[in-house]
Each structure stands twice: as C-alpha cells, then as structure tokens.
Structure 1
Amino acid sequence: MSFTLETSRSVLLSLHLQHDIVSKAGKFANFFSSQAEERNVIKNCEQVINEARLIGMPVIHAAVCFNDDYSDLHVNGPLLAMVKQMEALKKGEGAAFFDEVAPYEGEYVIEHQRVGPFEGTNLSQILKDSGSDTVILFGVATNIVVETTARIASDKGYNVIVVEDCCSAATLEAHKASLETLSLLATITTRDDLLEKLKAPSLK
C-alpha cells in the first residue's frame, strides 16, 4: 500500500523481540521460533531500528515480563495461564531482548504484564510527549501483541503502520489473517518500503 511518512512526527515501536518468545531455546519456541526464523524477523527488525536511529526517530521497546513469583501476573485467559505453567518471561535472561535489537541507552523500554504495552504503563504519555501522530510497529506475534497494540493505537487516534515482514506468528496463516484484519485499521508495509521512506530526504 502506498503511503507518505512524516518521519519527524513518527515513532518506532518494537514489540516482544525477547528470547523466551522468539529464540529456539525460549519457553515459547514451539509456538513462535520457527516462523520468526523463516521470516528473518530479527534481522529485518534490526535493519529498520538502525535506520530509524540514524535519522533521529524515537525508538520504543516493549517487553512483557514478570516477577519470579508471578505476583504481578493476572491470569484471565489461556495465553497468560501458559506463561505461568511454562515458567516463562521472568525478568532476566528469558525476558531479555535479542542483542541485535536491544535498546540503546536513552531509548524507552516499556515493561508490561498484559498482552499489549498500553495497559498499566506510561506508553500513552510517552507518545503524547513525543508530539507524534504516527506509530510504526512490528514484533512477535502478529496476531497477539502486534494486533492488540495496533488496535489500541488506532483507537487513540494515531496513524498506525505495521511492517509485515518484521512480524510473525505461530503459523503463516495466523499471520496473514491478522494482517488482513489490520489492513482496515492500519497501513501494512514491508521492510524495504519503509527503509526507502526513512531514507527519503523530502519526507523527513
């Protein structure tokens, strides 16, 4: 889909690029690792993040993580129940970001305990303070945190851009189905198209 981008009014939001979710050795490896690897998600995200940094676009990183005793986990659905059963996403190594996409000093890190990063955090205030009207987002999984975040950001009045090849789900079918729904609420683009926009001086 063709779109224009005012980079000075945009932020980049990286979602759940964490070891327990994406890594082959992670607690959710059986669900998400294969598609993330096949779609080259970490490398694609790294390229987008680095280009955004070069032009001074704010980069925000969201991580879902919990206390060791899960005292901050409210289970109200199967996915969150699985987190506790699998002893996943405890603060520390499992919840850490991949080195390639880890935050730089000074970049915002949103730690949250719900499916998406808006609830119970200061993300809304960060976006408001940035003066941005556009949120560019990506991560794993497409049909979980990406879709949740895109819907809420859209409802809050932001223009939402989803970078489809910087996302993956448990299956390609789930990924595609989520994007088909999101196409009614957001602009769906690719890494290459976005990189071209980020490098275009006339749009900065």
Structure 2
Amino acid sequence: MKPQKIALVLIGFQNDYFSQDGILRRVVEESSKVTGILTNTLHLIKELGDVLIIATPIIFSENYSELIKPFGILKTIKEVGAFKKGSIGSQTISELAQFKDKIIEIPGKQGLNAFVNTTLEAVLKENNITNVAFAGTVCSVCIDSTGRSAFEKGFNVTMLSDCISGRTVFEQTFYCEDIFPLYANVINSKELLIEQNKSF
C-alpha cells in the first residue's frame, strides 16, 4: 500500500468511551485494556508517515432531536446522555491533542456508519484513497458498519486488531477472527507500519 493511497480512520476516540468518568467507559473498558487500543493507536499515529488521518466523532444535539424512535445502542446513548454537543464527553480524548495538526476531523456522524451524513467518502476520493484502515470502538457496531460500507463503496479495508476494542474481550476477538475477514484484511498496527515502510 502506497502511503498516499491509504487513510487511517479513527472512530469513537471520545471522552464518553475513554475518560475516567466517561458515561460509556465501562462498555469498552475491559476490551480496551486487553487490546491496548490507546497505546497502540497513539504509537501508530506518531510513526505513520505521509498518511491521511481522519477522525469521525459522533455528536448529538442537546435534546437528541436527530434520533427519531432510536433503537438499541442509539436508544441507550440518548437515555444516558452520551455524546451530547458541548459536553466534555463528546470531546476527542486529550491524548490525541498532540496530533491535532495531523488529524482531519469530519463532523456529522450521528449513527453507526461514519459515511452517513458526513463528507467522509468525498474526502477519501479527493485524496485518491484506495485503502482505508480502521481504529477505534465499538467493533461490533460503528467499526463494522463503517467498514462494510467502505468495502461496498470499493475501498480496500484493513482492520487494525490491536487498535480496536469491543463491548467484551470475546466480542473483539470474534469480530477480528471471524467477521472482519469476510470483507477486510485484519492485521495489527505493527504490521501496518511495516507495510508502510516497505512502500517508500
């Protein structure tokens, strides 16, 4: 994969998932610790060369008016008041602040798929991206939904197993071993860096 042809898409790196008092921290805490998602993702971003890095935060209005008859995880998000515009919980985690000049933030995500209601596809195509690598959470929801969509849109998809967490350790392992391989290349962040270095 040539450096200029790949993009790293970050999903869910927000305080409500990762800060000590995050409303949904307990949902991904165990899996995040086991995978080392934060340490691995930060190292990856630091070491990546000429690669497009995109963050796609999920943010809702104060009254969640966008959610009409929400179901499942979106219903839970509304009930607990997570990812509310203007709240600390909706903000990007502080660990990524050091890379703010390196990361393009694309707003508009208000559901499971980061391509819906955003300019993600347009930005990828404008930058001649053919390969998209994913890091973030939750593997069974936003990561899987966005990954499948990327595949269906013609992008080559890579799932970074040590930069993705789930609701449980089992779920993360199951998706990386049995679900993601149905449409994506599953490697870890070290393998991606090796591939990138070889492409120079």
Do they fold alike, i.e. is TM over 0.5? Answer: yes
Deviation at 1:106, TM superposition (A): 6.5
CA displacement, residues 54-78 of structure 1 (integer Å, 9 cap, x when unaligned): x221110010111112122334321
CA displacement, residues 144-169 of structure 1 (integer Å, 9 cap, x when unaligned): 11111110000000000110000110
Counterpart check, 1:127 vs 2:124: yes
Q: Could you say which residue in structure 1 is the equivalent of 2:42?
A: 46
Q: Could you say which residue in structure 2 is the equivalent of 1:198?
A: 196
Match among 80, 86, 89 for residue 94 of structure 1: 89
* 3-state SS of paired residue (1:166): strand
Q: Could you say which residue in structure 2 is the equivalent of 1:31?
A: 27
Aligned 1:33-112 pairs, distance under 5 A? 33-52=29-48, 55-91=49-85, 92-102=87-97, 104-105=100-101, 107-111=103-107, 112=109
Q: Could you say which residue in structure 1 is the equivalent of 2:133?
A: 136
* 3-state SS of paired residue (1:113): coil
Deviation at 1:101, TM superposition (A): 2.3
Name the amino acid aligned to 1:170. Answer: R
* Identical positions, percent: 23
Give distance in 2, aligned partners of 1:72 and 1:11: 29
Give distance in 2, aligned partners of 1:199 and 1:101: 23
- Structure 1's unaligned 5+ residue stretches are none
- Structure 2's unaligned 5+ residue stretches are none
CA-atom RMSD, angstroms? 1.5
Give distance in 2, aligned partners of 1:75 and 1:185: 31
Aligned 1:148-163 pairs, distance under 5 A? 148-163=145-160
Q: Normalized against structure 1, the TM-score is what?
A: 0.90
Paired residues, what number? 196
Deviation at 1:118, TM superposition (A): 0.6
Give distance in 1, aligned partners of 2:101 and 2:192: 24
Deviation at 1:95, TM superposition (A): 1.0
Deviation at 1:24, TM superposition (A): 3.3
Name the amino acid aligned to 2:153. Answer: K
Q: Could you say which residue in structure 1 is the equivalent of 2:166?
A: 169
Q: Which stretch shifts more, 13-22 or 72-81?
A: 72-81
Give distance in 2, aligned partners of 1:74 and 1:113: 12
Q: Normalized against structure 2, the TM-score is what?
A: 0.92
Q: Is the 8 A contact 2:44 2:193 kept in 1?
A: yes
